[in-house]
Structure 1
Amino acid sequence: MGNYIARRLLYMIPTLLVVTIIIFGLVRMVPGDIIDQMVAEMASQPGASGEIDRAAIEKQLGLDVPVYIQYVRWLGGVVRGDLGESFKGFETVTEKIGSRLPVTFELGLLAMLVSLIIAIPVGVYSAIRQNSVGDFVGRTTAIAFMSVPNFWVGTMIMIYPAVWFRWSPPMEVIRFTDDPIGNLGMFFIPSVVLGMALAGSTMRMTRTMMLEVLRQDFIRTAWSKGLRERIVVMRHATRNGLIPVVTWIGFQLPLLVGGAVVIETIFGLPGTGRLLVDALSERDYPVVIGIALVIAVFVVFVNLLVDLTYGWLDPRVRHE
């Protein structure tokens, strides 16, 4: 197992290297010029006079050299743990992302937990009670969760409670250490909205896999031994049926991160998703690249975690 993990970690290096090259190139292709934007902002300030030196600004931002040299310099900083400085305020990218990352992490974690708490029990029940009223309700709910856009649900929640009940989300983040109840209450509605699509797709995936496992010969053997339904379902069927579901959840987590961008913007949560939107609009290249790198590292490690989970769910799987 240790050799397998070490080998996978080594394989991550070329993967992340290719990802950084793609990200760096795509960000530079975004329409608009940060220099023009900064010159316009400086010219509009009260008391601005004379011609603004564009060359000096380019040199200050490190944009006075070819793109490939900029990439090499940036990559060297990443190796040292330095993601560079933001073009806006000249705060380090690490500090900017670090202050926003806990919000996105908590939102994504709660969304995943809420979706799994709903999806797996409903999916298992729908499979063992196939074509029943409960199965019909579960399938209908899953399709509804997958069909309704989360940005529409979030917008409706922001509009109508504000009109009917004079409710609005907190303007500042309540830390869990300061007020656990207030923190969970603040993140509950956004996490439910974010996790709806994941809950719907996981619900359908769980039902499909469970139906397939319940038709296997070893399940018939368990029934023939006179075992109770709870033992057959929980000990034999569910553990085998969840193996493909784990893979599915691993593939869906990056989409959860993408959905956090929209949800944070709608509910005004100061997370990395909202920071990414602001950085794109301001052409703050170092922040955009830094956030993209963090997401890429997260996706790679999630894939590794999914592979390791196989061995726990199915002892027949061996990592060599």
Structure 2
Amino acid sequence: NHNWPITLYTNNFYVPVSSVGREPKIFLDRWDQQNGFELGTDLYADKVLDLKGKELNVAVVDLLPYAELKRFVGQEAQMLTHFCLLRNCTIKGFSDGWFWGEIFENGSGNGLLGMVFDGRADFGIAGVYLWASSFRHTEFSASYLHSGVTLLVPKPEIVGGWLIPFLPFSPQMWIAYLFSVIATGMSMHLITKATIKYTRFAEAVEKRGMFLTAVDTAFRSLGLSVLQQPSSPLVPHTPIRHLFTSFEILYLVFCTVYAAELASYLTAPKYSKPIDSLEMLASSGMLWLGEHSGWVYSLLGVETPTIETIVNNFKDTIVNDSICPKRL
């Protein structure tokens, strides 16, 4: 009839709370200051060594080789199966259809993350990454595998047809070439007018009739840009002749470079630029698809412009049926 002032219990977590007749607490020991503990029970025993047939609720997302719900196979499923063989427990796998899901600001959630967060699931398996957005709400196991996402993009296509003559020069080079032709026409027309007005060659220049009108100047400048010689020689020893020769040297360089580049394009096929980097993927503006926004969880919050563009270009195929309609 000794009076024990303190009685110690522990929580009965082996039996689900909803079970009929469940005893919520398990007696451990009694204690008083004079005699100490009555039974000498280990108060900090490892309850996980023997789970006494406890049913573990496991949220599963079908993502082989990590997990598959129907057959309960995969790397992470095998880990839990082996754990229960050693620790005397059973597994109940389930899914609410929301894949990895989300945890909302109002304290609710769905999918794998939401079910673990609100206690509907004890574990979640599906190739889970260390997502910063969920780190405050859920506990992650130690990493056992480093992985990444492989994104399928269109292969480079052969560029040909009517584009071939324009490929040797970049857009900036073509703009420079165009401005050179315009500058040539304006310079030759002005120097011709000045030669007629201020030199003794006025009569000879007017007789040749070159670069006197706007139309004549335009056509002769275009011809000069492709190294076409005038039908009759220019008046010798005039500024017109000297300036014309200078432009010939300029366009000789242009045409030589163009011919060399064109020969290389005609020899080997030209392909469009491959998308083989994050920068190329962002600059392409290409939409990329996944069955859940979990594919970009690891990129959320990154302030790099390239990453922000890639995240904005991601489309959820479940939400956006118009982009990738479901099969019937």
Does TM, scored on the shorter chain, surpass 0.5?
no
TM-score (norm 1): 0.22
Greater length-normalized contact order (CA 8 Å, ≥ 6 residues apart)? 1
More strand by share: 2
TM-score w.r.t. length of structure 2: 0.22
Q: Which has the higher helix share?
A: 1
